[in-house]
Amino acid sequence: MITVTFGQSKKQRQLETKRQNILKEITEINSLLSDNKSEATSLLTKIEDVNLKINVRKKLIQITNQQANLLTREIKENSGKIETLETDLALRKKDYAAMVVKSYKNKATQSKLMFLLSSDNFQQAYKRYNYMKQYKRYQKNQADSIVSKTEKLVSLNESLLLKKEDKVRLINDNKKVQQTLQKEKNSQKNLIAELKKDESKYKKRIAAKQKENNKIDRQIEKLIKDAIARSNKKAGKKKSSKSFALTPEAKALANNFTANKGKLPWPVTTGRVVLKFGKQRHPTVPGIYTQSSGVKIITTKSSDVKAVFNGTISEIQKVKGGNKAVFIKHGNYLTVYSNLKGLYVKKGDKVSTNSPIGKVAVNNEGKSIFRFFLYKDHSKQNPAHWIYKM
C-alpha cells in the first residue's frame, strides 16, 4: 500500500488520514481473523469473516476514489492557473522588452542629464525628474513581477507533476485492492452457494444462537432489575422504581460517565465489532433478522478485557459454558462484559478506567469473542454511541 505525497489542501489531508486509518483497520482485521483461525470454524462464521473483510475493502476503494477525483479537479484547476500565468508572463516579458529597447534608444540619443537641462523651466524639470524616477520604478516592478510569476509558474508545474504522480499511484493501488476484493467476493459467492444447499439447517442454527443470546439478555436484564430494587430498598424508596437510587457520590460518577459519552475507551486493546447493537438483517441468509442488546467483539487470543470507566463490580454471573459475565456499576450506568474467564476482580471491588477485569474466553469455534452491554438504569444503550470510534 502506498502513502500519498501531496499535502496542499485540507480536504486532501483529511481523505489521506481516513485512507490510512482504513489501511490500519484492514491490517488489524486480517491479524484478528488469522489469530482466531480454527478448523472448527462453521460455514456461517466463515461467511461473516469474509463479509467483514469485503465491507472494509469497499470503504478503502470509496475513499481512494474520492482522493483520485479530488486530484483530477485540482489538476484541472492547476492547469488553468498555469495557462493564465503563462499568458500574463508572456505579455509582461513583451512589455518589459519594449521598455528595455526604448531605454536603450533614449540613452543613445540623449543623456538623462540633457533631458533635464532641456526643460523650459524648473517646474518642467522637476516633473521630468519625477517621471524618470517613476519609469525606473515601473521597470523594476515589472522585472520583479516577471521573476515572481516565473517562480510561481515553476512551483505550480512541480505541484501539477506531483498531483499527477499521486493520482497514478492511487489508481494503481485501487486496482490491486479491487483485485483482492474480487477474490474475496468469489470466496463469499462459493460459501453462500454451499450454504444454500442446506439453507433451512443454517436458519435453524441462527435461530438457536439468537435464542441463546436472548436467554443471556434476559438473565442480564433480571440481574439489573434486581440490583435496582435492592438499591431502592436500601434507600427507603419503592422497589418498583425503574431507576437506581443514587448517593451524591454515585450521582457525581454518573454525571461524569455521561460527560464522557463518545469518548470512553474500548474494552480491549485490539478488537472489532462483528455484531452491532439492535435489530439487523442477517448479511447472508435472506428473511432472517438478528437482535442484539449489546455488541459482539472479536479480539486476540487471551486478550485482557478492561473496564471502560471508573466503577464498582456489582455482579459476577455465570453464562453458558461456565464462563463469566462481569457487571460494573457507574452511578446509574452499568457496563456488562460477557464470556470472560480468569477474572482479576471479585464482587465489590473498585475499578478504574482501563483496569483489567479478566480474559476473553475462546468459544467452541476457537474464536476469542465477547459481548459488551451498556445500560442506563434498566434502559439498553447503543455502545457505539459511547465508545470512542466504535
How far is residue 330's CA from residue 254's CA, in Å, rounded to a whole number?
6
Residue 62's pLDDT is 94
What pTM was estimated for this model as a whole? 0.74
Residue 109's pLDDT is 44
Residue 286's pLDDT is 77
DSSP secondary structure code for residue 266 in this structure: P
Residue 129's pLDDT is 67
User: 10-196 — its CATH code?
Assistant: 1.10.287
C-alpha cell at 121: 523651466
Domain positions in the chain are 10-196, 219-385
Residue 105's pLDDT is 59
How far is residue 36's CA from residue 58's CA, in Å, rounded to a whole number?
23
C-alpha cell at 227: 440490583
How far is residue 252's CA from residue 333's CA, in Å, rounded to a whole number?
12
To the nearest 10 degrees (0 to 180), the angle between helices 122-196 and 43-109 is: 160
- Pick one of 2.70.70.10, 2.130.10.10, 3.30.70.1520, 2.60.120.330 as the CATH number of 219-385: 2.70.70.10
Please return the burial class of 367, using the count of CB atoms within 10 Å of its CB with bins 0-12, 13-18 and 19+: buried
How far is residue 369's CA from residue 303's CA, in Å, rounded to a whole number?
10
Residue 321's pLDDT is 66
pLDDT tens per residue across all 390 residues of the chain: 445 444 457 888 899 999 999 999 999 999 998 888 877 788 888 998 999 999 999 999 999 999 999 888 888 887 887 777 777 777 777 776 776 666 665 554 455 666 556 667 777 777 766 766 776 677 676 667 666 767 776 777 777 788 888 889 999 999 999 999 999 999 999 998 998 888 888 888 888 889 988 988 998 999 999 999 988 888 787 766 789 999 999 999 999 999 999 999 999 999 999 999 999 888 778 788 889 999 999 999 989 999 999 999 999 999 766 799 999 999 999 999 999 999 999 999 999 999 999 999 998 888 899 999 999 999 999 999 999 999
In the block, cell 470466496 appears at 187
Residue 7's pLDDT is 46
